[in-house]
Amino acid sequence: MTRDEHFKRLEDLAGQAVAITELFKTEPARIANFVITEGPLRADFSKQAISEQARQALLSLAAGCHLEEWRAKLFAGDKVNTSEDRAVLHMALRVVGGSRTVQKEVKAMRKRMADYANAIRDAGKFKNIVHIGIGGSDLGPRLVADAFEATSEPALNLCFAENVDGASVNDAVKGLKPKDTLAIVVSKSFGTQETKMNGEAVRGWLGKYAASNMIAVTANRGRAEDFGISAENIFDFWDWVGGRYSVWSAVGLSLQIAYGPDAFDQFLKGAAAMDMHFRDQPLQENLPVMLAMTGIWNRNVLGYTSQAVIPYSRRIRKFPAFLQQLEMESNGKRITRDGHEAGLTCPIVWGDEGTNGQHAFFQWLHQGTPGAPVDFVAVLKDHENRPAHHAALLANCFAQSEALMLGKPEYKVREELEGHSEIDALAPQKTFPGNRPSTTITLDDLSPFALGHLIALYEHKVFVQGVIWNVNSFDQWGVELGKVLASTILSEMEKGETGDHDPSTAALMELLSAHHSS
């Protein structure tokens, strides 16, 4: 079957669909077929609007798109980033895949990172770390730092400066003393505007301590040295590590210093375990494949435009933001690898921590149009020593997925409102359509190992979906145009000029100029 024929088969099955609740009645093995457990992670897909027949058709589509061959290329180090002619080897940072040369370089860097982190922790000179980066150089470390708090007390206070907004760097250094603060400038290119400006600001704030209290993590050693950071204070990573996949590299050095090399090592091991699961398991038992193909069904067959991710754990509240970059920067593409229109690709990814979202956008999830599939993420262990809070948190998580599926039919509402004078107006408003799909992912705990397992799961989901959509998941040309124009506009602002712009942009620049001169 061709790819189009596979999708036609899926559309036909969607046309025959029954309610999710009916699938539980007609498919006795539904839990066995739609729940996958791997290490500390359990994913329950049974509340998705996917029949067993549709699940098999989705797996057939994956095989028809040569997923297994693409997976083999990924782990073999082939140049699957075709537009930039690069291999994609972030798994090698977890000691999975990569050539002997790559593994030797990775092991050497990991040892250097651990030795440096231990030396800083043992010396006691520094009390604070200011981690300066943006995008993948910020989102991953920030997410992981919050999560590590569940099981570890940081040895140093870890702060982040990411946005070019001056408030970001001001907030990062507020209340700190230059003498006992270590600044880590993290940038793959060491040319990113936001990171460069914040690095310069912190260097000025450090004053006489700048030479000894600043280090860099980069793939462009020359630019870091030009910035004024000595060669011995530069930690390298490589062009085969994409920014959004870089938390496993020296980009995570601040995490090693704050929380210790052992925690970081467990984080890597958790990801490596998921790598090996994805690499070795057949498609029908493969967790990233099932997560990805569920998303394909919801996006390309059912036509949902967005995907909500709701972590019922405050320690991973930044997970939706992390996934926005991971998924939307990777697969937010309209052109295939071979230069043709791609059709429907990555949905909008969004979310917030539970239970906060229940008091905000859950109204839309339950009764709005068109609604969105939800990934609920929950941690079974109470790390906060507040069992009543934890029980309430998980009760809400489990109830929301059930409510989205069951809904509340109008006849039940009418029974409750019997005798009410406005029953005809109120009953439809209080009706919940139900049959709204969700996946529930539970972690046994929020250990560094489990966190690595979770993040790697979604990394591989992105790869699988990129194969199905036939897009390059590892470039990001869409990031560049706005950055180039911003550089042009900034240069003109500094010179007091207004160049060749559309009337709206020109008017905005003139407004700023008038404001500054008043």
The residues annotated with a catalytic role in the active site are 329, 359, 483
Neighbours of 105 (CB within 10 A): 16
At 241, the amino acid letter reads: V
Q: What amino acid occupies position 9?
A: R
Q: Please list, in sequence order, all residues whose beta carbon lies within 8 angstroms of the beta carbon of residue 160, skipping any fewer than 6 positions away.
A: 130, 131, 132, 133, 138, 141, 142, 145, 172
Residue 190, Ramachandran bin (φ over 0: left; ψ between -120 and 50: alpha; else beta): left
- Comparing CA positions, the residue from 10, 88, 28, 124 lying closest to residue 466 is 88
Question: For 155, how many CA atoms within 13 A lie in the half-sphere containing its CB?
Answer: 20
Element (H, E) at 73: helix 67-76
Give the angle 356-358-364 at the CA atoms, nearest 5°.
Answer: 130
Answer yes or no: are the C-beta atoms of 434 and 405 closer than 8 Å. yes
Question: Alpha carbon 130 to chain centroid distance?
Answer: 22
- 131 near 185, Cβ under 8 Å? no
Q: What 8-state DSSP symbol labels residue 347?
A: P
C-alpha to C-alpha distance for 392 and 378, rounded to whole angstroms: 12
HEC-encoded secondary structure of 318-334: CHHHHHHHHHHHHHCCC
**CA distances, 106 to each of 81, 141, 250, 279 (Å):** 20, 19, 10, 20
159: helix, strand or coil: strand
Contacts of 280 (CB under 8 A, 6+ apart): none
Q: Look-up: residue for tokens 């699938």?
A: 23
- Give the strands of the sheet with 157-161, arranged side by side: 157-161, 128-132, 181-186, 214-218, 234-236
The DSSP bridge partners found for residue 181 are 128
Which amino acid is it at 176?
L
Query: What is the SS3 string spanning 467-484?
Result: HHHCCCCCCCHHHHHHHH
| Segments of 400-460 assigned E as strands | 438-443
Residue 229 has which token pair? 């950071």
